[in-house]
Amino acid sequence: MAITLSATHATVIFDASTGNTSSITNNGTPTGVAGTPGSLTYTGATDGFNNAGFASTDNINTLIGGAGLTDADTVTITLNVSSITGGALRSQGVLFGMSGDTSTILGGANSMLIQMEGGNIGSDILIGANSFQDAGDTGLQNFNSAILNGFTATLTADKDGYEFSLTGVHTTSPHIVTGTFSGTEFVDNFGTGHFYYTAQKFNQATALTTNITEASIDVTTVPEPSGVTILGLCGVGLLLRRRNR
What's the mean pLDDT in 36-46?
A: 94
Structure confidence at residue 123 (pLDDT): 56
Q: How far apart are the first and last CA of the chain?
A: 19
pTM for this model (two decimals): 0.86
CB contact at 8 A, 200 and 118:
yes
C-alpha R_g of the chain: 20
The pLDDT tens digits for 183-194 are 999 999 999 999
What's the mean pLDDT in 37-56?
A: 94
What's the mean pLDDT in 165-171?
A: 84
CB contact at 8 A, 123 and 141:
yes
Q: What are the structural domains of the chain?
A: 9-243 (2.60.120.200)
What's the mean pLDDT in 206-219?
A: 96
